[in-house]
Amino acid sequence: MQPVYSKTIGSYDVFIFKSMYKPYPGELITNVGTMYCPGASVTITIYTPYGFYYDNNQFKIQLSDVNGVFSENATSNIIGTRNSNTGGQVTITFASNLPASKKYRIRAISTSPRAVGAPSRDINISPPYIELDSVILNGICLGDNLLAPIHSNACFNADNVYTLQLSAANGSFSNPTILATRAGNGSLTFTASIPDTILTNT
């Protein structure tokens, strides 16, 4: 690098060099979980360990399609932005109408200069679901207590209430018998009993 100005002051030689600083996008790395609910908002971090960006740079977080494939259009499926020349935290929001898939991925894109980060690991986007474990294998007597474990993916609000229902003798739930209710938004176990008024074989 050649000095653009030099001067001797007393016994000292003074040199001034022109800065050769240039922006360099470097790596764009994100930390994201593996499972989210549709409509969920979460704060992630963009890491730029070797990058240099202009002051007008914007980081964008792009979501893939259900197969993990990204649009070539850098403005498509953007779920979060950060206006900064350095990495940091950004809030992303998954649309509430996203189809379920276990193959979603995200990636970071910078605008000044433009760079495209590596895709994240696969992300499972799943709507709320409840799964009831097998409770009765060989029948149960009237008045007996039973334990009914349920599993869910925690995509329920904090004020959610689960209801354990018993069908009619023909298996219909058009007018079910309520065995128990319990507040919660994750997996739990019901404790209930079969009323004496229920017909045998219900």
Which amino acid, 145?
N
| Residues ≥6 apart with Cβ < 8 Å to 35 | 123, 124, 125, 126, 153
Question: Which residues, other chains included, contact 182 with Cβ-Cβ below 8 Å and sequence gap of 6+?
Answer: 161, 162, 164, 188, 190
Q: Which pTM was predicted?
A: 0.68
Residue 158 buriedness (CB in 10 A; 0-12 / 13-18 / 19+): exposed
Indicate the SS3 state at residue 7. strand
- Dump pLDDT digits (tens) for 56-96: 999 999 999 999 999 888 788 999 999 998 889 999 999 99
pLDDT, residue 129, reads 84
The arithmetic mean of pLDDT across residues 166-183, rounded, is: 89
User: Residue written as tokens 């980060």?
Assistant: 117
pLDDT of residue 137: 47
> Where residue 170 falls among pLDDT bands split at 50, 70, 90?
confident
- May I ask the CATH class of domain 29-125? mainly beta
199 in Cβ contact with 161 (< 8 Å): no
Write out the residue limits of the CATH 2.60.40 domain(s) in the chain.
Answer: 29-125
Which of 126-156 are b and which e, b meaning 16 or more Cβ less than 10 Å from the residue's Cβ? eeeeeeeeeeeeeeeeeeeeeebebebbebb
